[in-house]
């Protein structure tokens, strides 16, 4: 059962990551295209500019949960690294509980904002703004799920996962001698 759950989680993570990677790749491609079209051919499209702005917002909000899952978020750990592993677990749980509260507030107001401004029609693409602003509450829900996954992971992890991490300035990140 536990392996099945891990496999399902891995597949969901891979899909989540792939959607973000495709969106980021598309964003890079479209930005390059619009820059070339604008500077070499003096041509631009308001629809494409608005789509790029929406895609940029999408990649930003979509990445919130990925940053949590991969521990790629900003963290000031000078004090955290010096705490005993048995206490470090509960500090991490408290930290992510606070993150969950912030994400819940963000999601709540994201839904309120979409409800208030979502009926307007965008000037570029001519679609209801709820499709553009909807990424905020959707990503909030996904980020909330990712936060819960991290909290459960902290609670169920072996205490060795919280052992101090020492940095050796003479070693590279792969453990080999640095030059």
For residue 8, the model assigns a pLDDT of: 85
For residue 173, the model assigns a pLDDT of: 52
For residue 134, the model assigns a pLDDT of: 86
For residue 25, the model assigns a pLDDT of: 94
For residue 141, the model assigns a pLDDT of: 92
> Would you give per-residue pLDDT tens digits along the chain (179 residues)?
577 877 888 898 899 899 999 999 999 999 999 999 888 888 888 888 888 988 998 898 888 888 888 877 777 777 777 888 888 889 889 989 999 999 999 999 999 998 888 788 888 777 888 888 888 899 999 989 989 988 998 888 888 877 776 655 555 555 555 55
Which among 144, 137, 99 is positioned nearest to 118, based on CA atoms? 137
For residue 149, the model assigns a pLDDT of: 87
For residue 86, the model assigns a pLDDT of: 84
For residue 172, the model assigns a pLDDT of: 53
> Which residue pairs, CB below 8 angstroms and at least 24 apart, start in 74-83?
81/164, 81/165, 82/164
């Amino acid at each position: 059962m536990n392996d099945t759950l891990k496999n399902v989680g891995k597949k969901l993570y891979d899909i989540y990551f792939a959607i973000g990677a495709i969106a980021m790749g598309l964003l890079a491609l479209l930005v390059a295209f619009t820059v070339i079209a604008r500077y070499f051919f003096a041509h631009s499209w308001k629809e494409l500019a608005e789509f790029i702005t929406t895609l940029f917002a999408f990649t930003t909000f979509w990445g919130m949960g990925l940053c949590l899952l991969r521990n790629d978020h900003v963290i000031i750990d000078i004090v955290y690294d010096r705490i005993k592993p048995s206490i470090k677990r509960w500090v991490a749980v408290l930290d992510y509980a606070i993150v969950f509260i912030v994400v819940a507030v963000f999601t709540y107001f994201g839904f309120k904002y979409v409800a208030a401004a979502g009926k307007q029609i965008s000037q570029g693409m001519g679609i209801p703004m709820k499709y553009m602003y909807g990424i905020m509450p959707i990503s909030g829900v996904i980020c909330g799920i990712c936060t819960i996954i991290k909290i459960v992971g902290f609670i169920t992890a072996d205490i060795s996962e919280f052992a101090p991490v020492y940095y050796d300035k003479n070693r590279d990140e792969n453990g080999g001698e640095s030059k």
